[in-house]
Amino acid sequence: MQPAPGAAHAPSVATLRMPGAWLGMTAFALDVGLEQSAGAWAYRHLTAVRSVPPARAGEPRGLASPRGTKRHRERDISRAEPSTRWDPALYARFERERAQPFFDLVARLPDGPVWSAADLGCGAGELTRTLADRWPDAAIVGVDSSEEMLAKAAALPTHPRIRFVHGDLRAWRPEAPVDRIVSNAALQWVGDHEALLARLVDCLAAGGALAVQMPDNDDEPTHRIAAALWREPRFAAQLGEARAERRVQPAAWYGERLLALGCEIDVWRTTYLHRMRDAADVVEWVKGTLLRPVISRLAGAELDAFLSAYTERVRDAYPAGPHGVWFPFPRLFLVARRVA
């Protein structure tokens, strides 16, 4: 019998009890990632793509000008990154599997009144809408840098308490501190997580909480194969220099920094095991995310050559069994409540 494409199985979780926190422990080996760290991409100012509902107490208002107080004088973490074209339809192909970690993440957020919330790297906004159900009093802003994703969000019926803005999450700052910040599968696209975490915690109201989920798969065959191909001379000229630094850090690294920022934390790492029909489905999955920079930079015969070499190697790395292809997908979760 043909397996359901991308059927998800119960994840395995490794956690270690820490004072006031659960710290997920994870192995860490230095490796290289795929994305360029510098490029010609310049920070673009935010443009609202939805009208803003009437203001409420503490309502986030998208990007405000950087404030001049000492507390807000952070390092500039909104520097150049190459732009990546997203394909919302392709991304949505494994919607159920991609949504599950979001629900696993927000389930661990503390209860309590929520008047304002932000979804950073909100994509096409379907999951942002579920936050409005969870927090019936909250004004919610979704921020994303992809015009393609936001165009899809704008095509959905408007929600009276949700608005979407176009912009870089690294530069986002609410006018008033917010009660919840959620970022699902987005922060792995940006660097300098130390400065970013400090900035995001600083955007929280007292007792507010931050929830972040990131794929943690730099060491997985999908990523190693892509990184190796990126460096091959036949592609490197078009793709540019491969990013040398790792963006997603070990779970304990985040735990240490969030505790130092005065948060109560819940940090864990899980491997979801997806059952795919075949290796071609694994390639389809990563074409929706990991390979976006490749698809944005290569075209025609070069892109075909990259994808065909990639597919061949993925087929070897993820052999088919009697029930399809098993596709392990590690993810890292951070929930931090600001108490100081």
Ligand X SMILES: C[S@@+](CC[C@H](N)C(=O)[O-])C[C@H]1O[C@@H](n2cnc3c(N)ncnc32)[C@H](O)[C@@H]1O
DSSP state of 185: S
Q: Does 329 bind ligand X (CB under 6 A)?
A: no
Cα–Cα separations (whole angstroms), residue 148 to 85, 125, 155, 284: 7, 12, 11, 18
Q: Please say which residue, 98 or 257, places its beta carbon nearer to ligand X.
A: 98
Measured between alpha carbons, how far is 291 from 285 in angstroms, rounded to an integer?
Answer: 9
**190 lines the binding site for ligand X (CB under 6 A):** yes
* The two structure tokens encoding residue 120: 């950073």
Q: Which of 169, 225, 229, 276 binds ligand X (CB under 6 A)?
A: 169
- Are 325 and 275 spatial neighbours (Cβ–Cβ below 8 Å)? yes
For ligand X, how many residues bind (rule: CB under 6 A)? 21
Piece of the chain touching ligand X by CB under 6 A; list 59-67, 144-152, 320-328, 330-338: 144-152
List the x/- string, 275-294, binding to ligand X by CB under 6 A: --------------x-----
Site pattern 97..116 for ligand X (x: CB under 6 A): -x---x--------------
Task: Count CB-CB contacts under 10 A for residue 71.
Answer: 8
Assess contact for 265 and 202: CB atoms under 8 A: no
DSSP-based three-state secondary structure for 257: helix
**Closer of 23 and 196 to ligand X (Cβ):** 196
In this structure, what token pair is assigned to residue 160?
Answer: 């009276």
How far apart CA 161 and CA 180 sit, in angstroms, is: 15
**Per CB under 6 A, 272 contacts ligand X:** no
Q: Candidates 164-172, 235-243, 264-272, 273-281 — which segment interacts with ligand X by CB under 6 A?
A: 164-172
94 binds ligand X (CB under 6 A): no
Distance of closest approach, residue 166 Cβ to ligand X, in angstroms? 9
Q: Output 170 or 324, the one with its CB closest to ligand X.
A: 170
Integer Cα distance of 131 and 119 in angstroms: 9
State the pairing for strand pair 178-184/204-215.
parallel
**In angstroms, what is the minimal distance from the CB of 93 to ligand X?**
12
Query: In 3D, which of 287, 83, 277, 74 has the Cα closest to residue 168?
Result: 83
Q: Please give the residue ranges that form the binding site for ligand X (CB under 6 A).
A: 86, 98, 102, 121-123, 127, 143-146, 149, 168-170, 184-186, 189-190, 289
